[in-house]
Amino acid sequence: MTSTTVSKAESLNADLRRRLEEAEEVIRAIREGEIDALVVRNEANGEEVFTLEGGVESYRSFMEAMNLGAAAFDRFGNLLYANRALTDLVDVARDALDGPVLFTALGANGAKALRDLISAAHPATSAVEVTLGSGDGARHLLIAAGEMTLGTNSGVAVTFTDVTARINAEKRAQAERTALAILASAVEAVVVCDLNGVVTHANASASSLAGADPIGSTFDEAFALDFRGATGLMQGGDFLDVVASGQPIQGIEAIAPRSRGAKDVLVSASALMVGEGSIGTVVTLVDLSRRKAAEKQQLLLMGELDHRVKNTLALVVSISNRTASTEETIDGFRKAFSGRIHALAATHNVLADRSWASIFLRDILSTELAPYVNELGSRLEMIGDDIEILPRAAIAFGLVVHELATNAVKYGALAIETGKIAVSVAARDTYFEVSWKEIGGPAVSMPTRRGFGNTVITRSLQYSANGGASLDFETDGVRCTIRIPVEDVVQA
């Protein structure tokens, strides 16, 4: 290669470098809007003038007139231009906003979404929604991108729409729908009032308590609650004023006189807070009907228990005194008194197992005879239908059976292995007749002395004119005819 050839090559390289620098400067100037026309020379057409004013400036003017954030990118993703709305949207100074700054301002997710849009915008138009920040201060942007031609350049036009208000409105609407669904599905009555005490929302349970649809009426007009347990200062909807002053109400008992169902309710109320302020009151009214019924039942049971304990203690005292008056020795008194108290306790236990409702005769017979008979089934025969009797008759019948069983074990059918007891039941007009007959025992005779046991048998059921018992000492075995008042028998 000659020196002349080298010089020509170096000159050509220098010329190419100069032209490249000029081209890069022109591109930069076009992007920056510093030129509005280009003169292009070519062999076919000579010199041609390409104006950029109708493209760049018109496009920039259009972008600045937009309320939306807008930007132009070249096909490589470099930022060409951003309008003021976008700089305000991302909170970056106009002269400081360039491509990297914009991508940084959008955050990692937003930057990725924008890059993907720019890549996808050839030739399609696409959009994506991104969120900047988190919590209450989060902003939601809808970024849309489309291909554009600007003068001699082609690139991507991007718009940034702040949809935060729409998203928040949708969230509020969804929250309200959820709240209304919860309100509707709540078992207890729930009422929402505005600051004037007017009912704005109420579920079905609340409408039932009000006796009609309460919406549009004041709380007091709709429910007219009677706070009987409170002072005269608390009336109707006065508690709403208490809540409005900042003091919640918890668990005040009231009566809902217009209710189609439960009358007794437990009222609680608190302020309905939205943001920093109250916009009304939320009132809940809990049905107390079951609790009130349980309380009444408890009072009845306590009264019944008190009555029953007093009667039982009086009976124990009477048994003690009468036993003492007929027994000649301490040991005799101890055995007789202990046996009678155990008989009383045994009947009490069976009644307790039945919640003191009623008890069958066979259960009493089995309980009282169990201490004396090993094979009860073979030594107790019941003839006729069993009957169910109330506690008063059961206690008396249990004492009678105890005395009969004690005598049968000592002197009658249960004193020998072959003896047994036959019990029959027959209905009469005012009583049920229960016959106790000892069978297969030794011969018996009328006792020479009438003891307290005889008194227990004959008088225990005489609390009613239709009740009582009689003893017959038949030679083949004792017969006792017991009359249980019809009013103490559970009718089928």
Q: Between 423 and 329, whose confidence is greater?
A: 423
Per-residue pLDDT of 330-353, as tens digits, reads 887 888 778 778 877 887 888 878
One-letter amino acid for residue 226 of the chain? D
Buried b (16+ CB within 10 A) or exposed e, 243-267: bbeeeebeebbbbbeebeebbbbbb
The DSSP annotation for 267-301 comes to: EEEEEEEETTEEEEEEEEEEE-HHHHHHHHHHHHH
Per-residue pLDDT of 52-107, as tens digits, reads 455 555 566 666 767 788 888 887 888 888 888 888 888 888 778 888 888 888 88
The DSSP annotation for 384-452 comes to: S---EE-HHHHHHHHHHHHHHHHHHHHHSGGGSTT-EEEEEEEE-SSEEEEEEEEES-------SS--H
Give the phi and the psi of residue 20 in degrees, each rounded to 5.
-65, -45
- Give the C-alpha separation, 98 to 79, whole Å: 6
Question: Cβ distance 407 to 452 under 8 Å?
Answer: no
Predicted confidence at residue 304, as pLDDT, reads 72
Neighbours of 185 (CB within 10 A): 10
Per-residue pLDDT of 101-118, as tens digits, reads 888 888 888 888 888 888
What's the rounded mean pLDDT across residues 203-221?
Answer: 87
Question: Cβ distance 289 to 263 under 8 Å?
Answer: yes
- Give the C-alpha separation, 484 to 469, whole Å: 9
Predicted confidence at residue 481, as pLDDT, reads 96
Percent of the chain past pLDDT 90, that is, above it, reads 14
What's the rounded mean pLDDT across residues 472-480?
Answer: 92
Give the phi and the psi of residue 308 in degrees, each rounded to 5.
-70, -40
Question: Could you tell me the pTM of the whole model?
Answer: 0.46
Please choose, from the candidates 218, 192, 221, the residue with its C-alpha nearest in 3D space to the C-alpha of residue 206.
192
One-letter amino acid for residue 57 of the chain? E
Place of tokens 């309710």: 265
Give the phi and the psi of residue 251 in degrees, each rounded to 5.
65, 50
Name the pLDDT band for 424 (thresholds 50, 70, 90). very high
Q: Where are the alpha helices (DSSP H) in 122-199?
A: 164-185
CA-CA-CA-CA dihedral for 151, 152, 155, 156, to nearest 10? 10
Helix and strand totals (H; E) in the chain: 15, 19
Which of 194-198, 270-274, 302-306 is predicted least confidently?
302-306
The DSSP annotation for 84-137 comes to: HHHHHHHT--GGG--HHHHHHHTHHHHHHHHHHHHHHTTT--EEEEEEES-GGG
Cα of first residue to Cα of last residue in the chain, in angstroms, is 134
What's the rounded mean pLDDT across residues 30-47?
Answer: 49
Percent of the chain past pLDDT 70, that is, above it, reads 80
Please choose, from the candidates 121, 31, 35, the residue with its C-alpha nearest in 3D space to the C-alpha of residue 81.
31
